Amino acid sequence: MAQKLRTALLQVDLFWEDIQRNIELFEKKIKELPQEVDLIILPEMFSTGFSMNAKNLAEPVKGQTFEWMRKTAAERNAAVTGSIIVAENGSFYNRLYFVYPDGTFKKYDKRHTFTLARENETYASGKQRLIVEYKGWRICPLVCYDLRFPVWARNTEDYDLLIYVANWPAARVAAWDTLLKARAIENMSYCIGVNRVGKDGNNLEYVGHSAAYDCLGKMISEAHDPVEFTEVVELDKQYLKDTRSQLKFLQDRDKFTVQID
């Protein structure tokens, strides 16, 4: 079990619908990491930007970008996570992969597709939440719009870290800041959000605000500007245990089940 989890947040300006250039961009950023890390977090649709052009951009299961993630995880001896566009069984998915250093992986299909951008008309909705076990940590990875739905993220399974990968636009970044902090507090969990910067092919602006919060809602990351940056934050399992032991809020949580349509 790792008491400390060194986690890299990569906030970048993505190349619009250009898989190869984005892979090369992240290769460069990962090579420049200032230290060894345990987990590397990339944004939502990190190989293309938030595109509805799935017909032309979707990759097969275990396609080019997935294989790059697996290669990177092995070379860096670190887990790699982020979402990409995947085609499977006649449907398209905004699929998050969590790839372990040994090449094994878990997947999560975005549950809440963003109707305002008509994402629901292109991508099938996921039906199951994912809890990842990694180095003694329990991790719940979610995608962008999922952030607005606290029931889906509710900590009923005693996870330690909640992750959101995103392409969250500047127009609503105040909600991003507020909800990331709220998810950390209400779930007594570390919460990390990794967003992009720049403008996409639809001229939507993104200002990042990637951040990490502890289980009491204190920001533990440093960078909060609308520029590219890479930051490594260290999460402390003992601090989490001690805080939960002292403040037993999770013990008073409601019991419920979620009905999946």
Q: What is the set of active-site residues?
A: 44, 110, 144
Compute the distance between CA of residue 178 and CA of residue 191 in angstroms, rounded to an integer.
12
Residues near 34 by beta carbon (within 8 Å), at least 6 away in sequence = 230, 232
Residue 182 to residue 215: CA distance in whole angstroms: 10
Strands 79-88 and 59-60: parallel
E strand spans, 68-166? 79-88, 91-99, 105-109, 132-134, 137-143, 161-165
CB atoms closer than 10 angstroms to residue 47: 30
Instruction: Using CB atoms within 10 Å of the CB of residue 170, give its burial: 0 to 12 exposed, 13 to 18 middle, 19+ buried.
Output: middle
Nearest Cα residue to 42 out of 132, 143, 125: 143
Nearest in space to 80 (alpha carbons), one of 58, 102, 63:
102
Q: CA 166, CA 148: separation in Å to the nearest integer?
A: 12
